[in-house]
A and B are shown apart, each in its own frame.
Chain A
Amino acid sequence: MKRVMILVLFALLASGPGLARVEVKQFDSPEQEERYDKLVTELRCLVCQNQNLADSNAELAVDMRRKTYEMVKQNKSEKEIADFMVARYGEFVLYRPPLNSSTLLLWGGPFIILLIGVTLLLRTIRKRRTVQTDAINETDRQAAAALLDSDSDKRDA
C-alpha cells in the first residue's frame, strides 16, 4: 500500500511541469511550431498587459493563442499573423514595438537619459577637481598665517 502511495506521489510530481505548460498543440512541421512559439512570445496579452500570450492564462490570451495557432496551421507567415493582430489591436499588441515616428521617444529615451547622466557626472567631477586645486586661496593663506603669527606672539610673551 505504502509503495503504491509513493508511486502515485512520484507520478504527480512528474506531471507537475507538464500541467503548468500551456495547451499542447500539434504542428505539421517543426518550423510551424517555431513560428507559433515566436509569435506567442512576441504578442501581448491585452487583458494582463505586462504579459505576452505565452505567459498568460487569461481567457482572451487562450483564444488569441488558438487564433494564432489556426493561422500558423494555415501556413500564414509570421508577418501576416502579426499584421492581422496589429490591424485589430494596434501596434500595442506587439511586445517589441517597431521603430517609427510615434515610438522614437520610446526607443531613444533611455539613450537621452544616459547622455544627461553622463553630462551631469562629468560636470560634477570637473567641479570637484577645481575645488580641490585652489582649496587654499591667497586671502585664506594670509589669514591663516596671521593667526599662526599672533599665536606664536602670545607664546613668546
Chain B
Amino acid sequence: MTRAALPLAIFLAMAGLFWYVLGKMNEGEYNPRDVPTQFIGREAPAFSLPNLLDPTKTVSSTAMRGRTWLLNVWGTWCPECWKEHEYLLHLARREGVPIIGINWRDDADEAKAMLARMGNPFEQVAFDPHSDAVIDWGVYGAPETFLIDAEGTVREKHTGAMTPTVWREKFVSHFASAKATP
C-alpha cells in the first residue's frame, strides 16, 4: 500500500495537470503554439503595399498616423477569418473603429469576391501575396489583429478570431482613452 502511494500520487498530479491544461486549451485561454509578439510597446513596422481593390494605389501604414487603428491580417483560406468577419463588420460600422486589412497569400479575385459577398469592414485592404509585410510584423498565422495607437506604437495583439470577449478584455480600453484625450 505505502509502496504504491508515491507513484499513485505522481500519476494523479500529472492527470490533474493535463486535465487543467486541456480544459484551458478547449476554452481558448491557452494556446501552446502561441508565439508572443515582440511588438507590444514598440514602433509598428511601416508597410506600403498595393491596394487590393485598386492596384494602382498603395496602402501605407504611415498614412494612419494620428489615429488609433486596427491592423487585421486575413485570407479567404482561413476559416477563423470567416468566423470573425461578422464581428469586424460590427466594429467598423457600429463602433466606428478604423480597420486596415492585409490580405495575405491570397488570390486577389477570391478576396474581392469574399468582401463583396460578406461585406467589407476595412477602410483599406492591402494585398500581400508574398508575406512581405506579414514577416515584417512577425505574423505566423491568420487571423491576427494588432492595435496601433496615434503615435504609431503597437499596443495590443490578438492571435485568432476577434470576438466580443477579446474586444472587451484587450482592445476597447485603448479606444476609450483615444477618444477621451483629444
A residues near B (Cβ < 8 Å) are 46-47, 49, 59-60, 63-64, 66-67, 86-90, 92-93
Contact = CB atoms under 8 A, between A and B. Distances in A.
A102 B38 CA distance: 16
Given A63-B135, A67-B131, A86-B38, 19 more contacts: A46-B35, A46-B141, A49-B33, A63-B130, A63-B131, A66-B130, A67-B135, A87-B38, A87-B138, A88-B136, A88-B137, A89-B38, A89-B138, A89-B140, A90-B35, A90-B36, A90-B37, A92-B35, A93-B35
Interface in B103-153: 105, 130-131, 134-138, 140-141
Q: For chain B, give the interface size range.
A: 10 to 19
Given A89-B35, A90-B36, A90-B38, A47 B140 contact: yes
Nearest to B35: A92
B135 A64 contact: yes
Interface in B3-37: 33, 35-37
Contacts of A46: 35, 140-141
Q: Summarize A's interface: helix, strand, loop or mixed.
A: helix
Contacts of B135: 63-64, 67, 88
B130 A88 contact: no
9 contacts: A60-B134, A63-B130, A66-B130, A67-B131, A87-B38, A88-B135, A88-B138, A89-B38, A90-B35
Nearest to A87: B38
A60 B140 contact: yes
Contacts of B35: 46, 89-90, 92-93
Contacts of A64: 131, 135
- Which of B35, B131, B135 gathers the greatest number of chain A CB atoms within 10 Å? B135
